[in-house]
Chains A and B, each alone.
Chain A
Amino acid sequence: MVHGAIAERHGTPDQRSGQTAPTGNYAAQGDNLAERTRKKLPIAAIIATIPLMIESVGVYIFGIGLSVYFSFTNTVVFPDYKLVGFKQYERLWSTDVWITAVKNIWIFGILSIIANLVFGYLLAVFMDQRIKQEDLLRTIFLYPFAMSLIVTGLVWQWVLDPNYGLTATMHELGWTSFYFSPLNDANTALYGLVVAGVWQGAGVTMAILLAGLRGVDAEIWKAARVDGIPAWRTYLFIALPMMRGAVATVLVLQCIGVLRIYDIIVSMTGAGPGNATMMPAVYVLQYLSDRQNAAQGMAAATTMLLPVVLVLIAVGLFRLFRRRKVVTL
């Protein structure tokens, strides 16, 4: 009867009249409680998940749909619903700046992901050697991640400033042939961004991979040692393949970070010199604000979404079938 009382509190009359199962014989069906409640009392749960519905449908279906729709219009600042076909996409792919942005994100993405993985794994392996100061070092390696990308960009802009930072310091110390100011040269500006990106993210990679290393069965290490396999080969060819999960996490995080890269560009290079560090996300924002051509921005944004959707459809389905209970990113 207790159950019935709750049902009354939460269920609407319509709902209850639709139910035919008796509410009295509670103990007999105790094990089915979860299922019973699901049938009986969805109202409170539905009310509680209204924000979820609004967001998932409103933003991720309706919103994305709207963006895609506007990419086929001539929308400037306020919505214009007249369709004009693929005009915006033709314009997009005939714009040099966009081509540069796409080229840049590939170069930057591949370089920074590799640099991040290699440096992060090296740090993790070295941290795994019974270092007494592990906690202190972990704190040092991770702290840049706590800071805003705006701050990171500004810090590195100063460090790489030839009149002030690293280069000037080396000159003062007597190493006059030293020159490392990648941001001032269109050919090397992307490398400067990679350095800043690694500085910000290598600690996180280290933390995730170190946890992965510690998760590898101790027996494996013993066996490898008994077989006389050198430690570096164990780390590279035995441990690394066994921690695919951790590596996948790092890769996913890195890919999302690369695709979204915006703040650090704005603060560090302003997409320059010229358009040497232009990125797709910056292109979208420029067309939304300064250039006041939302449709062109949406065409670029839709193009950015495409690879995400394709990868997610492949990976998402695979994962959904493998793990039902706990979903991890």
Chain B
Amino acid sequence: MSAATMDGNVTAATKQPTGPKPKRVTIGRIGLYAFLIISAAFFLIPVYVMLITSLKDMPEILSSNVLTPPLRPTLQPWIDAWLHACTGGDCSGLSPGFLNSVKITVPAVIVSIGISSLTGYALSFWNYKGANFFFGLLIFGAFVPYQVVIYPIIIGLRTVHLFSTLPGIVAVHTIFGMPVLVLLFRNFYAGVPIELFKASRVDGAGFWQTFFYIMLPMSVPITTVALILQVTGIWNDFLFGVIYAGRPNWPMTVQLLNIVKTTQGIPQYDVNMAATIEAAAVPLIIYFVSGRWFVRGIAAGAVKG
């Protein structure tokens, strides 16, 4: 199933679309494009509004239509959102949150992918009795509502004094990333010809050598998918950050919400929307740059949703 969904654009290029072939411009064809254009507008307009609002100053926002482009474009809201926006008494903007998100995302991505690819390799080629029991449990974990395990993990992290710390939140992201990642890597390695593994073993390579010299270099594509999945997933996380990271380490999403929700009087639409775009920028850039790879990760990644 995931193989079918992973093709993305490749399918479009290599396979014929299955629909009937259009002969000429018909009313149906016009209706078809009308539907697609309206749909595209539905998806685009909210972010378009956000973008142009973030480029206006407050007087212009209050006097103009939300759809009209800014008359006096200004980057001041972006600067304010980044450096001066207030959450409670703290007026240092989103930038500390950005730094925290980097500090959380980078180690969490490396640790979770490292462990998961090793686990997937072990499960595919060195499957010992009982391993599938653990694997089954892990897959079960992909379906468990987070709320069920949040409190036990708090207790666990408190016991080892990692609650409200950076290593704590990295561990939590690893825990919740593993079910999908291990599945991803295990399925990938299951598709690697067993002959390759045998050849490596005949040549005298052991468990670790086969992994580092043969399997790891082969798994660049799947690692890329995992990387995109994890970076966007962890960057976009709110729930785990607010619970486990601790106030000094709060990621960008948490600070964004605090900035937007602490507004008093007339909401600072310009600053709020600039802050929102800044918080969404990293995953959006990854999405637009990676394109096809992102689509591949969706079948597996959406599970995390």
Residues of chain A at the chain B interface (Cβ within 8 Å): 2-3, 5-6, 9-10, 30, 33-34, 37-38, 41-42, 44-46, 48-49, 51-53, 55-64, 66-67, 70, 79, 122-123, 125-131, 134-135, 137-151, 154-156, 158-159, 164-165, 168-169, 172-173, 199, 201, 203-204, 207-208, 211-216, 218, 221, 225, 231, 239, 245-246, 248-249, 252-253, 256-257, 259-260, 262-263, 266-267, 280-281, 284-285, 288-289, 294, 297-298, 300-302, 304-305, 308, 312, 316, 320, 325-329
Contacts and interface: CB of A to CB of B under 8 A. Distances in A.
A193 to B, nearest CB: 14
A328 B2 contact: yes
B151 A298 contact: yes
Contact of A64 (B149, B178, B276): B149
A142 B284 CA distance: 11
Contacts of A59: 141, 149, 152-153, 175
A88 to B, nearest CB: 13
A140 B43 contact: yes
B59 interface: no
Given A284-B147, A327-B183, A58 B122 contact: no
Interface string B131-150: 10111111111111111111
Given A172-B65, A221-B20, 8 more contacts: A44-B206, A59-B175, A64-B152, A130-B21, A140-B43, A149-B238, A204-B302, A211-B4
Query: Which size bracket describes the interface of B in this complex?
Result: 35 or more
B18 A34 contact: no
Contacts, number: 346
Contact of B134 (A49, A63, A66, A249): A49
By secondary structure, the B interface counts as helix
Interface stretch (B6-14, B78-86, B87-95, B217-225): B6-14
B207 A48 contact: yes
Given A41-B126, A45-B207, A147-B280, A126 B253 contact: no
B15 A214 contact: yes
Residue picked from A9, A140, A150, A297, most chain B C-beta under 10 Å = A150
11 contacts: A45-B128, A51-B119, A56-B134, A64-B144, A64-B149, A123-B39, A139-B291, A214-B7, A239-B18, A285-B239, A308-B144
B152 A62 contact: yes
A12 to B, nearest CB: 14
B109 interface: no
Given A142-B295, A203-B43, A213 B18 contact: yes
B148 A49 contact: no
Interface in B205-238: 206-208, 232, 235-238
Residue picked from B17, B118, B174, B202, most chain A C-beta under 10 Å = B17
A137 B257 contact: no
A207 B286 contact: no
A59 B258 CA distance: 30
B126 A37 contact: yes
By secondary structure, the A interface counts as helix
A298 to B, nearest CB: 6
A257 B305 contact: yes
Contacts of A159: 45-46, 49
B265 interface: no
A246 B5 contact: yes
A212 B4 contact: yes
